[in-house]
Structure 1
């Protein structure tokens, strides 16, 4: 069950990310490793995150998820090593909150996409989860 919300005017924001292709069961390890590395880098450059950590999904293959994980930042920063600068696109954004395991997220995603379609909208970008 989701609490659906619609934001019509989300703005784009800068972020630092680490991209990988992993299976769904590796997401908890990825989050810990990437979030720790990015926080260490932000400490080096004396900056703070601009919002909560996230994982962006670029496909829905649970055995080979193409993901980017990290934090938004308050200003564009250079990358370092595997940490790359990017921009989270702005525009219309629909949200819902998934409660449960990563293995069950596909059911929430299916229900959410049905709700988006009922609103007369369509998906223009891959989903992102805030942690």
Structure 2
């Protein structure tokens, strides 16, 4: 695409004043870079992904409030992580993290284990124990 044709559509990236680097052809036919604020197909895909994340966070929050999962699952979703990533960050096996999702197991976790989760989520142990509101 030519440098003048690089899309500058409104996108979700505008919310964070971010631009994306794209390759384009200049007037002399040479490849160069140009900043783009986004384009509609990418905006739609990004908005759909963000909407899906918000939905998963809310579902996890409701499960915590209902007492069917621990706050660890909620904060994992809130921080846009999955089980594999969270397990690697805290240094536990995936099955161990999944076990910590059980409220009865979560309530018995040591402060040392809770501190690992709190550090990864960038919250205090108290915030982790209290969960979402």
Shorter-chain TM band: under 0.3
Higher relative contact order (CA 8 A, sep 6+): 1
Q: Normalising by structure 2, what TM-score? A: 0.24
Instruction: Look at both structures and tell me which one has the larger radius of gyration over its CA atoms.
Output: 2
Compare the two structures and name the one with the higher strand fraction: 1
Q: Normalising by structure 1, what TM-score? A: 0.24
Compare the two structures and name the one with the higher helix fraction: 2
